[in-house]
Structure 1
Amino acid sequence: MSLGSMNTYCPWEDNSPEPLLDICGKYVIAHPETFCVKHQLSGLWFLRPGSALPTELCERLIGLWQDLDPEKLDDRFINIFRDLSNTRLKRINLRSSSVSDDGLSVLLSHNLIELDISNCRKLSERTLANINKKGGNLLTLVIGKTNDILPSTVSLESSSDKEDSPASEAKQKDYILRTPNLRKLVVRDLIQPRYDGYFVVLLKPLTRLTHLDLSGCFYLHDIKYLRPMKHLVSINLHSAQRVQDAIPVLSEIKTLKFLDVSQANQTCGMFEYPDTTLANLVTSLPNLASLDISGTNLSGDGTFDERSSTETRRPDLCDIPGLRCRINNPLEFLGLYNTLHDACHRNHIPAKVITGDANEEQILAAMEAYVDRPDVLVKALNELFHIFRFETCHNQNRALNLILLAMLRHRREKHIQISGSASLFYIAKSEDKNSLSVRARQKMIIVLLDAMETHLEDSTMMRNGCLTLCQFRIPQDVASLFEYRRLVQLLLHLIKGRGDGDDFVRRIAIYLLNSLACQVDGEQKELVGDLGAIETMLKLINDRLHQHVHDDMLEIAWSAMWNVTDETPVNCLRFLNGEGMRYFQKCLKASVANTFPDKPELLRNMMGLLGNVAEVKDLRHRLMTPELLTTFADLLDSNSDGIEVSYNAAGVLSHIASGGAEAWTIDCPTRAEVLERMVAAIERWDLASKRNINYRSFEPILRLLEVHHTPQCQHWAAWALANLTRVYPEKYCSLVEEEGGIPLLQALLASPTPYSRIKNLAKIVIVQCQHYKELEKTCVRKEDKGEITSSSGGGGGRSSNSGITVA
């Protein structure tokens, strides 16, 4: 209902941590066994003996369910509130939940004072009977669009014809709702009643009502039955049938402060004498503070009959003829959205808050006021999108809160989700995006995931969602492991795709999955593998090979597997078991045959992945074939992508050779021949080479420093550390120190086994780390004196930098 500007502050606006109550609540909802016992046959949860939940916690648990996914809120969870001695409830919102008549009966036993059951599809007329039995204390009842609860008509049958029917009970006892203390009633879109006295029977017993919402209801007929309601302060007749006939009665309800006679369809909002009708209505209601005439012609055409004005003030001070009496006493709120003659664009309107489409403020006010009207909300969201796209949104935080609220409230309204996500894209990519709090970014991602999961088959929604997700810091902005799982599952679904027409979305999804995989640790990498990432990538590679297509999707598929196998043996095993080596050889042959020419990233990514496999001692024997070892040795001479392919090939061979001579189980090529070629390749590399690689940990490289039986392995490891600490000292010197690399390098210098070149490289690393450490101390001292500010970067996940540009 149009009650003026709402308070749109959202708890995720600032960077304060999520309340502990909410964190714990979400956990126990996901793991009800922590405080409940499940009945094996019925599946219902019962409160664990000895447990007791206060009112605040009980109501918050239901609220958190609503935030997560209201459709999953059902009788199984609601049953824990059957224990009336150890649980307490007063105010319940079940909007769009899956609670049935039985579940609601459990809740009604708590003598509720507020209840919202709008859009609960599993409720029937049995709920009406339960409300009448247990709802004596109800002050607020929101039935909303759940039309099956109320009888379609007031039956004229005798009690013997239909004894148990709530409809016949209503006829016999002259009521539909027996809730004598009710102050607020919301019944929307009730279109079935045909009996003239239906609303008389519904409303006459509710003598204490102060707020009544009958928006969208048909067959209201003569609403004289409202006259006896002496306490009414708010009436909502939005899109009610024949609202024109209601104006005389409404004018007599002097207590009214909030009145809504707006229409969604302009043709239903035409008044014969709009200026006079509005003037008489407003003059008759001295307490009126909020008025909504959207979708009607009550605002007039902006012209005045000068003869009717004897006032000395200028007539142009008010551009809505019917509101001239409020020039010096402006309304707190005025709804002008979609009025005839574009009333919201006029200059002099006697109201503090106005809904319309003339400017940003009016559009945001409309979104606040009409959050429960999907048809109007879609239009307002589209207008807000155009502001973000072509102009400047001056109140981005307020707009963001309203977009998220709209998307959360109407998850299944596809057009709201599409339009809302389009605006989220511009917010996420704007220059002000860094001002968004951590929780705001997390909430945006959660709402996007909700929308994409709900509308998986809509290509526009998928495109909007993926493009918007690309604007975030993935995975840093992902709220939890649960959301991380959801995001990975969604991306894998999109990567699998439904045909060539989905390649744009698939390309972005692969890019995002690659970003997710390259910056996380073992547990999350394992999760990505558990969810089928390796198999999905191999399937995509197979499709590309079959179509003879080499594009960035093929390269990123290998890159994603490179990242997800990094220090994650179980994923390396998945790659091998998925015939990954067969795809490696096919891609390699295609590259050599120039089927995939001028694509050095492909070779680099493939060899990087095999480097991860080679690091796993138990899997190296699966690489020990003459064909593969010959391939790796030949790639030592590759100049593809600078030194990267040659470097990765040497890394693979170093790890294989680290198993010792007895582990080299093939005759050709010989171990000595391969090691000799490897050293020759290392010596060709420029120690100052800039790299297209990123290490999170040096542990596999540091292990090779201790392989004294094969100094060639130490050579590669020492060169890698010398190169990285020299070219990127701010990133890798501290990593060498943190992981205990300096003692290993010093031990290598003291050992007689390594040849001089290895020791020279080891000295370079030690000196470089010492130099950087001294530099850091100097910078800190200068910073303390206010002379300089210095910061050092940290390591990320080892990954390639291949990706796509998303506009």
Structure 2
Amino acid sequence: MCENPSSLEECCLDVICENILTYIEPQIQTKDGWTSTIEGSDCYDDERSDKRYKFRDPDIYLINKVSERLMNRMMEKRILCDATLNIFSERNTKLRSVKIKNCKVTKCGLQMLKQHKITDLEVVNLKNVSIGDILDCLNEWTVQNLMNANFSKCTFIDICRYSFMVRISNLKALKSLNLSYTEFNQAMYKIICEDLKNLEKLDISGTLIKDLRPLALLADKLTSLSICDLNAASESMIPTLQLLRNLKYLDISLFNDKVDSHHLPHTYVVAELLETEHIFPHLVSLDVSGWKDVVARDPLLRFINTHPRLEFLGIVFDAVTFDPVFCDIKSRDNFQNLRIAGLGTEQQIKVTLQCYKERSNYVQKALYHLFQLTTSFSEARPDIFNLVLPVMEAHSSRFGVQMAATACLYNLTRGELSKNIHPKALSRGVDLTLIAMETFPDEFQLQKNSLLTLCSDRILQEVNFDRFRCARLVLDALCGFEDVNMNRMAVAICSILASKVSTEETSELGARPVYMRKLLAMVQSRVESRLSDITLKFTLSALWNLTDESAATCNVFLEQGGAVLFLNVLRTFRDNSAIETKILGLLNNIAEVAKLRQNLITDALVNELFVLLKSENIDVSYFAAGIVAHLTSDGDEHWKVTTHTRNEMLTELEQSVSQWRVPDGEMVAYRSFKPFFPLLRVDMNYQVQLWAVWAIHHVCTKNPKRYCPMLQEERGHSLLTDLMNYAGSHWEIKRISCQILDTLTKNGVQV
């Protein structure tokens, strides 16, 4: 991959956030003050007002840069709240720039701001705190020196329905102020323009302002102005804007979902602006997106030609975005260096995704057009993949965005394309896909898009993500929809994931009857149609892996009639070694569970095993032998079969194992050797011991790096030593046991 690895600082921040309780501890407020002695209290309820966190090491100190990055990372990981904000005390951290966005924080948590000298403050879209509350939490130094303030999508109205807008005027040092989409009104606007004489950047988009004329008071200094969705101020707009001779950045776009330019009473304003001569001589950036047919081609071209310093042009949702003069490189000789955000070309779409991450309707439309382009991509495009992820994350609750994004992710990772995308980016893509699946469980096409992306060997085998969560969501999708292609993908994904999660997690998945019923129903339909397709094989693999060392899953399998069904599968697909191997592998998992194996000691199944022991396919014979070894290990008193005696099956078991030729590759994978240990008792029938030691020897020689340490850690070598030292052990058992111990020694494992 051409991308650089994460820096050590980024890795450390991720580790801290993912293991946050290792580094901080909760305190509860009592009548005697704050205490870390929290026995008997619900100390991890982070919304409690009498709770806060502090660093476990009271002497830790994070420099300014690290403190700010830690806060940002905690916000991204959604673990920033009132209780965790307390760790940013002046004793342990130093903050100059603070960003708190879309978090569940209140005035109580923001009190820690008083401990810091803040010059840049971004508090956006907080629902539980007013702008007045935020200002209350600033110390005198910050009030006098704050240079940049962003209170977008917050409210001036506090819990008592009082508004304290006038207090904004106390921030005399402000150079940049964003009050977009608040209740900011005309009266306060006039005061701001009069009192905050250092303002260079102002965003009053979507506010209640009706007359822009007070802006003339800032004409000499103002370089950036955003007045999106400010339709009530149309009449005073052009005369006022003409006074802003130093303006470099102007955003007059429409963004609000409810705004439709066809129904606006003053659509002439934008058209008049583009026709106005000698306006904005220093303009670098102009955004007129969202005005649809109002922005005409020729006036816009004239405006561009008369503003040679223009570097950025926003025309998203405007009809001209598809005009050849803005789409065809050859037609853009006069403005080759102009960066255009639109929907007409790949480059325009990329700029749109970069510049409008917060605008859900812009993002959705851009992703829709991007999807049309990605269908024809033949080479990996990590640049575009990495543009989709941030907007997908920013709008996780918007169905339209998620629908388009999941479709794009599939097109960008399908086939071999994923091999040239960095694993870290793929990991983030999978995480966002899982969030989409959780958020919209009933949306068929979105779920299908997600499965298409996940059904990739590169992703499932090489990329880091929460495999248990993924398997659960995939099984939910499998149970939620009846679709042939979804069924195939879901069981294919689960067949791989089930082998990669812990035994506790496979038990949690497999023990849910609804999942088991669905998987068995899919097998049943193949039996009835006598169809041996890839879906059947994936389903059998998934069931095999889900039952591996999971007594709970094995029990649900039996309760749902799985044993009878699998016997029918063996009979229906006789001599199909691939299916026989998977069936016998699962039955072997059940046979390992002492309290369940009696369900398998039946005439019908033992008759099949008697035949399958002699199979020419070693995989089939091996797993059949494993079942026989476990079923016969309980002794004569538990043998209820009438068609074949236990001694007869033991004889067949010995003959089969003795005739096996060691395969070239690893034939089977085990999570643990513990199921073998009951078979290695010194008083066990040597035929049973023979299968067990052959199996252990096989995996230890084919994959010594994995299995030799495992055998030693689980103390299996002690059982083998006991067999060698026991006078009554069969000579063949002693020989193979000795070979296994020699293999361990050769591979550096002490025995």
Structure 1 209/650 Cα, relative in aligned 2: closer, same or farther at 3 Å?
same
In the alignment, is the contact (CA less than 8 A) between 1:215 and 1:238 conserved in 2?
A: yes
Aligned to 1:713: 688
Q: Name the amino acid aligned to 1:339.
A: D
What CA distance in whole angstroms lies between the structure 1 residues aligned with 2:680 and 2:13?
49
In the alignment, is the contact (CA less than 8 A) between 2:427 and 2:464 conserved in 1?
A: yes
**Equivalent of 2:205, from 200, 215, 220?**
215
In the alignment, is the contact (CA less than 8 A) between 1:366 and 1:380 conserved in 2?
A: yes
Q: How does 1:742-757 map to 2 (within 5 A)?
A: none
Aligned to 2:645: 670
What CA distance in whole angstroms lies between the structure 1 residues aligned with 2:623 and 2:425?
41
Aligned residues with identical type, % of pairs: 23
1:467-506 CA distance string (max 9 Å, x none): 21222535554536xx3443344334434x34x5467546
What CA distance in whole angstroms lies between the structure 1 residues aligned with 2:413 and 2:446?
16
Aligned to 1:302: 298
Instruction: Give yes or no for the alignment of 1:463 onto 2:448.
Output: yes
1:301-327 CA distance string (max 9 Å, x none): 338xxxxxxxxxxxxxxx81222224x
In the alignment, is the contact (CA less than 8 A) between 1:428 and 1:472 conserved in 2?
A: no
Aligned to 1:634: 608
What CA distance in whole angstroms lies between the structure 2 residues aligned with 1:515 and 1:116?
44
Q: How does 1:522-671 map to 2 (within 5 A)?
A: 524-530=502-508, 535=513, 537-541=515-519, 556=538, 558-566=540-548, 568=549, 571=550, 573-578=551-556, 580=558, 583-591=561-569, 603-615=580-592, 619-620=593-594, 622-624=596-598, 627-628=601-602, 631-638=605-612, 642=617, 644-658=619-633, 661=635, 668=642, 669-671=644-646
In the alignment, is the contact (CA less than 8 A) between 1:36 and 1:47 conserved in 2?
A: yes
What CA distance in whole angstroms lies between the structure 2 residues aligned with 1:688 and 1:484?
31
How far did 1:461 drift? Answer: 2.6
Q: Name the amino acid aligned to 2:504.
A: E
In the alignment, is the contact (CA less than 8 A) between 1:442 and 1:478 conserved in 2?
A: yes
> Equivalent residue of 1:89, what SS?
coil
Aligned to 2:497: 516
**Equivalent of 1:138, from 119, 134, 146?**
146
How far did 1:651 drift? Answer: 1.0
How far did 1:406 drift? Answer: 0.8
Instruction: Give yes or no for the alignment of 1:331 onto 2:317.
Output: no
What CA distance in whole angstroms lies between the structure 1 residues aligned with 2:506 and 2:66?
34
**Equivalent of 1:291, from 264, 286, 291?**
286
How far did 1:17 drift? Answer: 6.4
What CA distance in whole angstroms lies between the structure 1 residues aligned with 2:199 and 2:438?
41
1:688-746 CA distance string (max 9 Å, x none): 79997556777867996896963433554577689989xxx9x558778776999989x
What CA distance in whole angstroms lies between the structure 2 residues aligned with 1:641 and 1:118?
69
Instruction: Please say which of residues 703-712 and 336-345 is displaced more in the overlay.
Output: 703-712
What CA distance in whole angstroms lies between the structure 1 residues aligned with 2:670 and 2:656?
22
Instruction: Give yes or no for the alignment of 1:255 onto 2:255.
Output: no
Structure 1 448/108 Cα, relative in aligned 2: closer, same or farther at 3 Å?
farther
What CA distance in whole angstroms lies between the structure 2 residues aligned with 1:11 and 1:19?
18
Aligned to 2:129: 123
- TM-score of the superposition, structure 2-length normalised? 0.78
Structure 1 556/118 Cα, relative in aligned 2: closer, same or farther at 3 Å?
same
What CA distance in whole angstroms lies between the structure 1 residues aligned with 2:356 and 2:517?
47
**Equivalent of 2:99, from 86, 93, 96?**
93
Aligned to 2:45: none
Instruction: Give yes or no for the alignment of 1:187 onto 2:179.
Output: yes
What CA distance in whole angstroms lies between the structure 2 residues aligned with 1:239 and 1:688?
72
**Equivalent of 1:25, from 16, 35, 39?**
16
Instruction: Give yes or no for the alignment of 1:397 onto 2:382.
Output: yes
1:451-477 CA distance string (max 9 Å, x none): 323333333332222221222535554
Aligned to 2:170: 178
Q: Name the amino acid aligned to 2:305.
A: R
Structure 1 18/560 Cα, relative in aligned 2: closer, same or farther at 3 Å?
farther
What CA distance in whole angstroms lies between the structure 1 residues aligned with 2:599 and 2:415?
53
Q: How does 1:73-84 map to 2 (within 5 A)?
A: 73-81=80-88, 83-84=89-90
What CA distance in whole angstroms lies between the structure 1 residues aligned with 2:694 and 2:649?
18
Instruction: Give yes or no for the alignment of 1:416 onto 2:407.
Output: no
List runs of 5+ in structure 1 lacking aligned partners. 1-9, 152-161, 304-318, 774-807
In the alignment, is the contact (CA less than 8 A) between 1:658 and 1:707 conserved in 2?
A: no
> Equivalent residue of 2:313, what SS?
strand
Aligned to 2:351: 365
Q: Name the amino acid aligned to 2:276.
A: N
In the alignment, is the contact (CA less than 8 A) between 1:584 and 1:606 conserved in 2?
A: no
How far did 1:417 drift? Answer: 1.9
What CA distance in whole angstroms lies between the structure 2 residues aligned with 1:253 and 1:209?
13
In the alignment, is the contact (CA less than 8 A) between 1:588 and 1:603 conserved in 2?
A: no
Instruction: Give yes or no for the alignment of 1:486 onto 2:476.
Output: no
What CA distance in whole angstroms lies between the structure 2 residues aligned with 1:677 and 1:469?
44
What CA distance in whole angstroms lies between the structure 1 residues aligned with 2:8 and 2:628?
48
Aligned to 2:36: none
Aligned to 1:378: 364
Aligned to 2:51: 44
What CA distance in whole angstroms lies between the structure 2 residues aligned with 1:459 and 1:433?
24
How far did 1:121 drift? Answer: 1.9
Q: How does 1:155-174 map to 2 (within 5 A)?
A: 166-167=162-163, 170=165
Structure 1 103/599 Cα, relative in aligned 2: closer, same or farther at 3 Å?
farther
**Equivalent of 1:345, from 301, 321, 327?**
327
What CA distance in whole angstroms lies between the structure 2 residues aligned with 1:632 and 1:203?
90
1:492-548 CA distance string (max 9 Å, x none): 4434x34x546754653443232122245xxx2323324665655434356568989
How far did 1:97 drift? Answer: 0.9
Q: Name the amino acid aligned to 1:107.
A: L
Aligned CA RMSD, in angstroms, stands at: 4.7
In the alignment, is the contact (CA less than 8 A) between 2:283 and 2:310 conserved in 1?
A: yes
**Equivalent of 1:238, from 212, 228, 252?**
228
Instruction: Please say which of residues 332-341 and 220-229 is displaced more in the overlay.
Output: 220-229
How far did 1:432 drift? Answer: 4.1
Structure 1 236/547 Cα, relative in aligned 2: closer, same or farther at 3 Å?
same
Q: Name the amino acid aligned to 1:332.
A: E
Structure 1 247/11 Cα, relative in aligned 2: closer, same or farther at 3 Å?
farther
What CA distance in whole angstroms lies between the structure 1 residues aligned with 2:27 and 2:540?
46
Structure 1 722/607 Cα, relative in aligned 2: closer, same or farther at 3 Å?
same
Structure 1 652/417 Cα, relative in aligned 2: closer, same or farther at 3 Å?
same
Q: Which has the higher contact order (CA 8 A, sep 6+)?
A: 1
Aligned to 2:413: 428
What CA distance in whole angstroms lies between the structure 2 residues aligned with 1:654 and 1:196?
86
In the alignment, is the contact (CA less than 8 A) between 1:651 and 1:716 conserved in 2?
A: yes
In the alignment, is the contact (CA less than 8 A) between 2:225 and 2:247 conserved in 1?
A: yes
**Equivalent of 1:441, from 426, 435, 439?**
426
What CA distance in whole angstroms lies between the structure 1 residues aligned with 2:575 and 2:170?
79
Q: Name the amino acid aligned to 1:62.
A: M
What CA distance in whole angstroms lies between the structure 1 residues aligned with 2:415 and 2:663?
37
How far did 1:126 drift? Answer: 4.9
In the alignment, is the contact (CA less than 8 A) between 1:474 and 1:512 conserved in 2?
A: no
Number of corresponding residues: 699
Instruction: Please say which of residues 598-607 and 217-226 is displaced more in the overlay.
Output: 598-607
Structure 1 582/431 Cα, relative in aligned 2: closer, same or farther at 3 Å?
closer
What CA distance in whole angstroms lies between the structure 2 residues aligned with 1:407 and 1:226?
40
How far did 1:108 drift? Answer: 4.9
> Equivalent residue of 1:94, what SS?
strand
List runs of 5+ in structure 2 lacking aligned partners. 30-40, 43-47, 747-751
Structure 1 102/18 Cα, relative in aligned 2: closer, same or farther at 3 Å?
closer
Structure 1 124/539 Cα, relative in aligned 2: closer, same or farther at 3 Å?
farther
